[in-house]
Chain A
Amino acid sequence: DIQMTQSPSSLSASVGDRVTITCRATQDINNYLAWYHQRPGKAPKLLIYDASTLQRGVSSRFSGSGSGTDFTFTISGLQPEDIATYYCQQYDALPPTFGGGTKVEVK
């Protein structure tokens, strides 16, 4: 299985801050990477797919970049409603696998 490693595991930032999360795969995943956020008690929501394509209806303050094995997710101006755990997921190979998550809190 392809292992996905996210960092940091948690972070605290102020409203308006730029927030960056990284995700590393154990092998080249050809940009088949998605990002989700999961608010407490809710289902995950797809934010970005194919490493950098914004899902329809998702705020443009979310963005993704990267290629090969190293990827980055950015919130350009943190909002209170962004309190959530963020997950990356690869879908280059079966089984699809998720990172361990990054818990984002607002100071």
Chain B
Amino acid sequence: QLQLQESGPGLVKPSETLSLTCTASGGSIDRSSYYWGWVRQAPGKGLEWIGSIYYSGNTHYTPSLKSRVTISVDTSRNQFSLDLSSVTAADTAVFFCVRHLNLPDSFDYWGRGILVTVSP
């Protein structure tokens, strides 16, 4: 059974880069034709797709964040990562890592989520 687990700092200062990692267990990122992505949820708000990476390394980002987002994959560690630069308080959210088969698609596996607060 695939499990996804987010990790990273829970507090980031304004203007800095938010960096998170998602570790997959119970399945291999590079041996399956899946996309691996990130979805965020601001406190008390709805869900927003940030972007995804194919196991081969091709990336796709939501237009509103494209200039600040980088998603990468490290198959040797069975991990993929999110970098969001120049953060502001508006980027405070719970960040979920997800898996999906096609692009776009529904998200069939989710990590538990990690709260990242942007504050001085």
Contacts and interface: CB of A to CB of B under 8 A. Distances in A.
Given A44-B47, A97-B49, A98-B48, A91 B112 contact: no
Contact of B96 (A43, A95, A100): A43
Contact of A43 (B60, B103, B104, B110): B110
A21 to B, nearest CB: 14
Secondary structure of the B contact surface, majority rule? loop
A100 B46 contact: yes
Interface in A50-107: 55, 87, 89, 91-101
A34 interface: yes
B54 to A, nearest CB: 14
A6 B46 CA distance: 12
Contacts of B112: 42-43
A94 B106 contact: no
Contacts of A93: 104
- Chain B interface category by residue count: 10 to 19
Secondary structure of the A contact surface, majority rule? loop
A19 interface: no
A93 B112 CA distance: 26
B63 interface: yes
Interface string A36-51: 1000001111100100
Given A42-B112, A95-B63, A101-B46, A89 B106 contact: yes
- Chain A interface category by residue count: 20 to 34
Contact of B108 (A32, A55, A96, A97): A55
A34 B106 contact: yes
B107 interface: yes
Interface in B58-108: 60, 62-63, 96, 102-108
A44 B63 contact: no
A49 B106 contact: yes
B77 to A, nearest CB: 22
Nearest to B37: A96
A99 B46 contact: yes
B71 to A, nearest CB: 14
Given A93-B104, A95-B49, 4 more contacts: A44-B47, A46-B108, A91-B102, A94-B103
